[in-house]
Amino acid sequence: MSKQNQWIVGVNAVASAIENDADNVREVLVEGGSKNTRLTEIEENARRKGIEVRRVNGQALDGVGGSVRHQGVAARYAAARTWDESELQGLVEAAEGKALVLVLDGVQDPHNLGACLRSAAAAGVTAVIIPKDKSVGINATVRKTSAGAADRIPVVAVTNLARCLKDLQKLGVWIYGLAGEADASLYATDLRGNIALVLGGEGDGMRRLTREHCDGLVKIPMPGDIESLNVSVATGVTLFEAVRQRR
């Protein structure tokens, strides 16, 4: 698991980091004079866990948050978690035949990736796989949009996505790609075993090589007059169909 220092901002992202990974939170900045009770809770929880808290003005928070709305709180975080590819096998095996893996092939909008991670956490996925190239990484915007999900689920950044899919197949994982032109319906596909669901990025969808490594292509039936869904919406629909079947 690789680590690097970065600032994370926003009430949900900071609260989640303190709750789920306090050892890696170096300090918390809270806007002085704020009447927001959530900020008071965050400050108290941080102090309880031995994390240094500083009260600062809004300008200081603007400086660390950049273009991301900080909502009056930021944290210096020592572990922007990305899991190593070598850890995937252990994650799949630990799921004991019920692995649910989300593969995002080239999502470049941090808001979309954050929303996908939030849905993935809610669905209890085993891991999320993203390519190192042609994809946004886990930055401050992703963390804030994910509402803390980026700290709760393994996000694996891989060098070669096609090779990673082959490795998953060797572990007994069936791989289904979402494609609008597919004949098979998502709802008629058995999603109850070791499954990886692959969604393409904005615009072009899955890359050709990714598509070729899928065991099957499925589509979300859309009776309305729209060709495709936003990737984060499609991710939510797809993951929760798998959840529905598994219950």
Matching residue, tokens 């989640």: 16
220 is in an annotated binding site: yes
**What DSSP element (H or E) covers 157?**
strand 155-158
Residue 198 contacts residue 177 (beta carbons within 8 Å)? yes
Residue 142 CA to residue 22 CA, distance in Å, equals 19
Residue 22 contacts residue 148 (beta carbons within 8 Å)? no
Q: What is the CA radius of gyration of the chain?
A: 19
DSSP string, 96-156: TT--EEEEEE----HHHHHHHHHHHHHHT-SEEEEESSSS--S-HHHHHHTTTHHHHS-EE
Crossing angle of the two packed helices 11-21 and 37-48, in degrees rounded to 10: 20
200 is in an annotated binding site: yes
117 is in an annotated binding site: no
| SS3 of residue 240 by DSSP | helix
Q: How far is CA 103 from CA 40, 84, 106, 198, in A?
A: 37, 15, 9, 5
Sign of the C-alpha dihedral, residues 30, 34, 40, 41?
A: negative
Two structure tokens written together for 4: 């690097």
Binding-site residues, in ranges, read 200, 220, 229
Binding-site residues for S-adenosyl-L-methionine, in ranges, read 200, 220, 229
